Amino acid sequence: MENKEKLIEAANQMLERAYTPYSKFPVGAALLTKDGKIYGGCNIENAAYPVTICAERTALFKAVSEGDYDLAALVVTSRSQHATSPCGSCRQVISEFCSSDMPVLMTHERGEIEIERTVGELLPAAFSEGDM
């Protein structure tokens, strides 16, 4: 992927914008469209925990709200010593809007890609419109 470094940099920038007064665990995400546009996202916490939103969903919802559905890759990062993987809710949302072969890159505080999976590998047998 030619925009990998740019995408990691964007995720790291979003990490700095995270609002995490409760968990103290900031997460940044960057979503690349097939035409090269990048949507950033960060986790935004709330004292009422269920309304907190993860970085991955923030980036995805920004893209979708702008009408961008042709998505190419996602990077997720944190200040952890090990790669941060999307939670179950995020995996379901990712599978709703991204192709099963789209790469999801997971980095850590040093910005190195530690884990790379496809959407299908992250959520095999995802619940979809076809299951309804």
Binding site residues, as ranges? 43-49, 54, 87, 90
Instruction: Tell me what the mean pLDDT of segment 105-110 comes to.
Output: 89
Binding site residues for Zn(2+), as ranges? 54, 87, 90
Please give the CATH architecture assigned to the domain spanning 4-123.
3-Layer(aba) Sandwich (3.40)
pLDDT over threshold 90, residue 10: yes
Active site residue 56: yes
CB 125 within 8 A of CB 101: no
pLDDT over threshold 70, residue 1: no
Binding site residues for substrate, as ranges? 43-49
pLDDT bin (cut points 50, 70, 90) of residue 111 is confident
pLDDT tens per residue, range 59-106: 999 999 999 999 999 999 999 999 999 999 999 999 999 999 999 999
The pLDDT, as a whole number, for residue 110 is 81
Tokens coding 22 = 């409760």
Instruction: Tell me what the mean pLDDT of segment 6-30 comes to.
Output: 96
CB 31 within 8 A of CB 41: yes
Pick the catalytic residue from 5, 56, 66, 129: 56
Q: Where are the beta strands (DSSP E) in the chain?
A: 27-33, 38-42, 71-78, 103-107, 113-118
- Give the containing element (helix H, strand E) for 41: strand 38-42
Instruction: Tell me what the mean pLDDT of segment 108-112 comes to.
Output: 83
Residue type, 22: Y
The pLDDT, as a whole number, for residue 109 is 79
pLDDT tens per residue, range 29-61: 999 999 999 999 999 999 999 999 999 999 999
Q: Where are the domains of the chain?
A: 4-123
The pLDDT, as a whole number, for residue 121 is 97
